[in-house]
Amino acid sequence: MMRKLALLALAAFILAPLVQAIILSFTATLAADGNAVGSIGLMNYANILTTPELQSAILNSLAYVSVNIALCLACGLPAAYALARFNFVGDRHFLLLILVFRVTPPVVLSLPIFIVFAQLGLVNSPIGIGIVHCLFNLPITIWILESFIRAVPREFDETAFLDGHSRAGFFFRHLIPMIAPGIGVAAFFCFVFSWIEVVFARMLTVTAGKPITVAISAMFGFQTDIGAVMAMTCLSLIPAVILLFLLRNYLAKGFILRS
């Protein structure tokens, strides 16, 4: 009984800010368009969906997150397979090195990355944000997928090759379905790290291509419409909830296998 009460108290403590944010998102906190302060309705969401800057921010975020996940999986799968199946000088040190790069504070590399991306014409573009996020998320992707591939016996590869499959055919027809939970875990982490990142999102979008995190930050001012901010925040949670729902089985299997 005490354990259940403790879990309920913990859940209430965690969910209380979210519940308050949802309630405020339906509340008019500034008098506008005939809505009195404190009135309840969909006015905040309607305002967001009819504001071009906020619409663009949502689409930009979806664009660069999609680029980030696609690049991380496309580059991470072959790299993880190479680290799991082949031995070469410094292979373990290489894996440690890329993880050290991942924990490097982004602000340390912000100026060099901005200079390079400015020369390549990738500033003010969601594609540029997606690429730079891939640089930081790729080590995590390789680390996660390498452990899942290593858990697959080498005999599985050899049997497929004896049956006449090429390496590419084995990779796409057998290995990827086998490590689907790991791919789901890697995709989820790439999405989360990219969706909430602020440093590069702000630095690489000086005049255009602003993502949802920067748009929410820009909504704060001398007279902030808290209801609109909370509505934008709640909208930003929808893609994560959808992805979590779609990948829930893969995530559950992936965390069990990873442990």
**CATH code of the domain containing 111:** 1.10.3720.10
**What number of residues does the chain have?**
259
The pLDDT of residue 70: 92
Identify whether 241 is part of a domain: yes
Is 227 a member of any domain? yes
Adjacent-strand bridge partners of 32:
35
Residue 38 falls inside a structural domain: no
Contact 223, 157 (CB under 8 A): no
Q: Which domain holds residue 193?
A: 52-258
* 32: in domain: no
Q: Is 17 contained in some domain? A: no
Among the ranges given (90-104, 124-138, 177-191), the one the predictor scored with the smallest mean pLDDT: 90-104
**Most distant CA pair in the chain, distance:** 74
Q: What is the distance, to the nearest Å, from the Cα of residue 228 to the centroid of all Cα atoms in its chain? A: 23
Say whether 99 sits in a helix, a strand or coil: helix
Taking all residues of the chain, what is their mean pLDDT, rounded to a whole number? 82
- On whether residue 185 sits in a domain, the answer given is yes
User: In a 3-state reduction of DSSP, which class is residue 223?
Assistant: coil
pLDDT tens for each residue of 94-132: 777 877 777 778 888 888 888 888 888 888 888 888 888
Confidence (pLDDT) at 192:
87
Q: The pTM is what?
A: 0.83
Q: For residue 216, is pLDDT > 70?
A: yes
Alpha carbon distance 25, 164 (integer Å): 58
- Domain presence at residue 175: yes
Query: What letter represents residue 122's amino acid?
Result: L
Supply the DSSP symbol for 259. -
Structure tokens at 141: 């992707």
Asked if the structure places residue 181 within a domain, the reply is yes
Query: Taking residues 192-205, what's their average pLDDT?
Result: 84
Is residue 80 within 8 Å of 182, Cβ to Cβ?
no
Q: How many domains does the chain have?
A: 1
pLDDT value of position 74: 92
